[in-house]
Structure 1
Amino acid sequence: MRSVGETPSTASDQADGGDPLPRRHVVFAVVAIALFMASMDQTIVATALNAIQTDLSAELTWSGWTITVYSLGQIIAMPMAGKLGDHFGRKRVFLVGITVFTLASLACGFANNIYLLVVLRALQALGGGAFLPSATGIVADHFGRHRDRAVGMFTSIFPIGTIVGPILGGVLVTWLGWRAIFLVNVPIGVILFVLAAKLIAESPRREAGRIDFGGLGLLAVLMLSTMYGLTNLDLGLGSPWFVVPEVVAVLSAVVFVRHTMRHRAPFIPIRFLRGRSFAVMNVLNLLFGGAAIGFGALVPLYAEQRFHLDPLAAGTLLTARGAGMICVAALAVLALRRAGHRLPMAVGLTLMVVGLVAMAMPPAGVSGYMWLAVSAGLTGLGMGLSVPASNNAGLSLAPDQLSSLAGLRGMFRQSGAIIAVSVTTAVLANSANPAMTQAHAFVVLAALLLASVPLIFTIPDHRGAW
């Protein structure tokens, strides 16, 4: 498919993808480990909150910010790293990301107060957020005409890392203490930097023009203020901690759109936001982030409150979802060229809807743990089927700007997750029956996903390589 503004020769090159490069499988392993490490750090801290709170004499709200600020930092970093990767070269951005992530992890491991730890977690997120868009482009560059399958498999790693995080975190905190969850990244980061510098080929750069730092700054203010306000939603709709950030967000959005429409080379081209296919993919990614990533953060709490499971048993439910996803993802990648994008996405989202509804409505006389495990596994099957197709559907719209589109996709998915968690927890805080309220929240998420299925049939149904 030819993207807007593409010359005929460029379109042909992009459609073919070129010959795969040597050592591509080793490069895939290097960038996959980096992405896995960054995604795992999004949730690994969850099991260490009590230990951090006790050791640093911190309030629970500040301890919780070690998780929130990581998500916020990634939301800012993903589109920024994607654009910079297309402009300066993906290898360079990837190496900078590893450096920032590793040094920040080291500093987190030696932080002596909660405020410093929150700041360092933000820096760690900026480095980790650079992995997904730059590494997606690196994988596509190295696999050439096979990049659709490689990218489909590669981007399925991110949600698996978020599932493994709490489990590994529990082991490290139990045996080595909470600082180990950060320090374990340091030797891995050093090894990855050396391997990446030696093995990854340089990607083409877009040297023409300047980076739109004004647009970048406005987008950062827009996303940060929006998400910060939502994290304070539990304080009430009239709270200044919610109202003021959201007012800033609205004003920033207006200025950002005007700036983007007038700038000669905007940070995010306006067609990526409101072009028909791009807009649909943005909506789908936002809803997917809420239902998949946000849902994952809420399942253990739901299991503990409604079915009275212990924390370890509740945490293993996410393993069932991860197992379901892994079982299907590889097969879904192999079938992409024959099945296209629409069918796997539609069937996958439908399976997620069924899993969410089933989780909210367990039948009488059935083991709560067993029913939740089956329901979570069903949502995992849906994720494994839909994620590769969804990722390729977005990237194939503009193959010459892979990193930028991967960063934008990550931003919308992370935003959806924060919105889902923030709104749900705010409602739970004022509920007389939190367990049933959360069950209703799962049904609402299912309804939103089901309503988004018709949108899938408005995007190009690409078959074959892209």
Structure 2
Amino acid sequence: MQKNVVSVTFWTLCIMGFFAILSSTMSKSPVLKPFSLSLRTPADWTGGVASASTIPGILISLLAASLSDIFGRKKFLLIASFVFASALFLYLFITVWWQLILIRFYHGFATAIFMPVTEALISVLFPTKRGERISLFHSATYVGKVIAPTLGSYILFATADNFHTLYLSVAVASVTALFVSLLFLRDEEKLPTKGQFDAGETVKRLFHGWRIILHNRKGVASQLRSSKPILCLWLRRVLFGWLFARSGWFGQVFYRNNTNKHNCRCNFHKTLHGKNLGQDWKRIPIVLGCTVSAVPMLAVPFTADF
């Protein structure tokens, strides 16, 4: 594979990731909480609204990555880009709160397919620099995450909380990601592809790959460790987001600014530590990261004011 083709493919993935995650983040921060409140969502369903988009990640992330090993990455990236683009237009037709849950569930399939398949493709393109390149890709997505809350807040302020205008603006970013993916697919024959198999052979290869993963103790332990900081992060976002959404303009601005600070820190550290993922001392940042994510959550019950 020619070096320039690999480079163009990688930067295309970064551009796709930037616009896709920008659109996905703007669809929920800052608009999701006030939009859900405007639909009079019952209090016991607020968690369902927030978590609906994460359920597809549990259901199909592993399946999508495994199937992309067999049928090729590009088909799945195009499917994810289409879901990113189409979901944003569906938000315009929401009139009751339960429709928001359904559309967010559908929207979640985009990220559930896009992220693992993209990481798998980057691993194939850069077998000796996987950590560095995957970290750089995640940095591109975090740039979108940093911009999204501020840009979304400005649009809501400029349009007097017109949710439809915001979702139309977000749709522009998602359509851009789809357009870039269509350009990316033109070089399909130059990228790593897998052979075609019948249904029986496909299932056999799927379960064989899953058995290898389950028997990799270090890999399973690493995933269990990484799930804890993510759990803490989403608990903080959901809890604080709903509290600040009800506390007026200042509380919402305070929450969005802190979200941006978190995204900036993640962007910096992912890029900084990417080259060191293959080093022997990688256990130190893992333990440190788990500790840093746990301590603030332990302190939350003892706080009295934001």
**Range into which the TM-score falls when normalised by the shorter chain:** 0.7 to 0.9
CA 1:128–1:211: 2 relative to 1, 3 Å: farther
| Distance (Å, rounded) in 2 between the aligned partners of 1:264 and 1:324 | 39
Q: Percent identity?
A: 16
Q: Select the residue among 282, 288, 301 that pairs with 1:350.
A: 288
One-letter amino acid matched to 2:270: A
Q: Select the residue among 319, 331, 337 that pairs with 2:272.
A: 331
One-letter amino acid matched to 2:273: A
- Give the CA deviation at 1:292: 4.3
Task: Give the equivalent residue in structure 1 for 2:171.
Answer: 183
CA 1:436–1:144: 2 relative to 1, 3 Å: closer
**1:211-226 to 2 correspondences below 5 Å:** none
Task: Give the equivalent residue in structure 1 for 2:224.
Answer: 283
Task: Give the equivalent residue in structure 1 for 2:9.
Answer: 27
* 1:310 alignment partner, SS class: helix
Using the TM superposition, name which of 139-148 and 275-284 deviates more.
139-148
Q: Select the residue among 149, 154, 172 that pairs with 2:137.
A: 154
- Give the CA deviation at 1:163: 5.3
CA 1:300–1:149: 2 relative to 1, 3 Å: same
- Give the CA deviation at 1:94: 0.7
Say whether the 8 Å CA contact 2:229–2:294 is kept in structure 1: no
CA 1:356–1:300: 2 relative to 1, 3 Å: farther
Say whether the 8 Å CA contact 2:229–2:293 is kept in structure 1: no
One-letter amino acid matched to 1:32: C
Q: Would you say 1:197 and 2:185 are equivalent positions?
A: yes
One-letter amino acid matched to 2:10: F
CA RMSD of aligned residues (A): 3.7
**1:265-414 to 2 correspondences below 5 Å:** 265-266=206-207, 269-298=210-239, 310-336=251-277, 340=279, 342-350=280-288, 353-354=291-292, 356-357=294-295
Q: Would you say 1:436 and 2:301 are equivalent positions?
A: yes
Q: Select the residue among 125, 136, 149 that pairs with 2:119.
A: 136
Segments of 4+ moved more than 6 angstroms: 301-305
Relative to the length of structure 1, the TM-score reads 0.53
| Distance (Å, rounded) in 2 between the aligned partners of 1:184 and 1:45 | 16
- Give the CA deviation at 1:43: 6.7
| Distance (Å, rounded) in 2 between the aligned partners of 1:336 and 1:268 | 23
Instruction: Count matched residues.
Output: 294
Unaligned ranges ≥5, structure 2: none
* 1:125 alignment partner, SS class: helix
One-letter amino acid matched to 1:132: M
Q: Would you say 1:170 and 2:35 are equivalent positions?
A: no
Instruction: Say which one has the larger Rg.
Output: 1
Q: Select the residue among 78, 81, 85 that pairs with 2:61.
A: 78
- Give the CA deviation at 1:34: 3.2
- Give the CA deviation at 1:69: 1.1
One-letter amino acid matched to 1:27: T
| Distance (Å, rounded) in 1 between the aligned partners of 2:303 and 2:216 | 35
What do residues 236-266 of structure 1 show as CA deviations (whole Å, max 9, x unaligned)?
xxxxxxxxxxxxxxxxxxxxxxxxxxx7852
- Give the CA deviation at 1:162: 4.8
* 2:58 alignment partner, SS class: helix
Relative to the length of structure 2, the TM-score reads 0.76
Say whether the 8 Å CA contact 1:88–1:205 is kept in structure 2: yes
Unaligned ranges ≥5, structure 1: 1-18, 216-262, 362-434, 440-466
